[in-house]
Amino acid sequence: MSDQVLVFEMAPRDGLQNEERIIPTEDKIALVDALSRSGLGKIETASFVSPKWVPQMADGAEVMTGITRRAGVAYTALTPNMKGLERALAAGADEVAVFGAASETFSQRNINCSIAESFQRFRPVVDRAVAEGAPVRGYVSCVTDCPYEGAVVPEAVAEVAKALLDMGCYEVSLGDTIGKGVPETVSAMLGAVLSRVPAEQVAGHFHDTGGRARDNIIAALALGIRTFDTSAGGIGGCPYAPGAQGNVATEAVVGLLAAEGFETGIDPDALGEAARFARSLKAG
């Protein structure tokens, strides 16, 4: 099994999307640039969702075109529908992502459609992105627990994950959206998913509301998962998941992975600087 782990940075998107104060575009750009100096290979830079739904992300195009691009870094974006994809491609996103859920109520609250309708909506988005040369990631939210429905059955997650990969996504990122997962529920969920899809196409996306994200990463590593989504400074949360905290902090995960003998290629000092800047934005 590989000892390389890909750390996928979320702070500019998942980190900032829930912030009530409107953060100046130049600060968002400075955050992405600081993160790119640390050796991170993938940075979720913007979100091309409806500005009525998430006003904080309305300046995605300005952020995406304002950053200083570093060779070898993929700058990625959320694209919930064709309009979002067109905006993301025009702004130069290297990679895009569709996002669904394993819970019907969360799907309705977050993207205003059922799970089945979301597949109909995503399919042409994935086809078009792939035709334009942009790889597509698929997110599944509420992989252990839903803020509206409670515990989520592992098989529901496996169904959605398989459907997203069959559609043409290169990877599925499994989101513990509200950070309620524990190693037992995460392992049970991964057991169901990994019986349908290979570990190389699965990423872990753990929010740290319950303080168990690091334990969940260790459980996922043991099952062969080698990509994790994290947020510098631990900033963030989802506007449609009440009470949810940020993704587990990038700097904590990089430290944990080094201690466990995994390579990430990330410079902890440069990352520390970016994390301090991320936290300062959150504090206002």
Interacting residues with ligand HMG (CB under 6 A): 14, 17, 47-54, 78, 80-81, 83-84, 87, 99, 110-112, 139, 141, 175, 177, 205, 207, 238-240
- Give the span between the Cα atoms of 12 and 278, in whole angstroms: 8
Between 90 and 222, CB nearer to ligand HMG: 90
To the nearest whole angstrom, how small is the minimum distance from the Cβ of residue 1 to ligand HMG?
25
> Taking CB under 5 A as the rule, does residue 95 contact Mg ion?
no
To the nearest whole angstrom, how small is the minimum distance from the Cβ of residue 226 to ligand HMG?
19
Residue 48 binds which entry of ligand HMG, Mg ion, none, with Cβ cut-offs from 5 to 8 Å by kind?
A: ligand HMG
To the nearest whole angstrom, how small is the minimum distance from the Cβ of residue 122 to ligand HMG?
11
- Taking residues 13 to 52 in sequence order and writing x for each that binds Mg ion by CB under 5 A, - otherwise, the string is -x--------------------------------------
To the nearest whole angstrom, how small is the minimum distance from the Cβ of residue 28 to ligand HMG?
15
Between 139 and 228, CB nearer to ligand HMG: 139
- Give the span between the Cα atoms of 98 and 84, in whole angstroms: 10
Q: What does the DSSP 8-state code read for residue 56?
A: G
- Give the span between the Cα atoms of 94 and 251, in whole angstroms: 24
Distance from chain centroid for Cα 199: 17
Between 192 and 258, CB nearer to ligand HMG: 192
Buried b (16+ CB within 10 A) or exposed e, 26-49: eebbbbbbbbbebbbbbbbbbbbb
CB 147 within 8 A of CB 180: no
Nearest one of 18, 21, 11 to 242, comparing CA atoms: 18
- Give the span between the Cα atoms of 23 and 18, in whole angstroms: 11
Nearest one of 181, 232, 225 to 204, comparing CA atoms: 225
Residue 142 annotated among the catalytic residues of the structure: no
To the nearest whole angstrom, how small is the minimum distance from the Cβ of residue 229 to Mg ion?
7
Between 29 and 238, CB nearer to ligand HMG: 238
CB 166 within 8 A of CB 200: no
Q: Which of 142, 146, 169, 238 is catalytic?
A: 238
Summarize as ranges the residues that interact with Mg ion (CB under 5 A): 14
Which residues form the catalytic set? 238
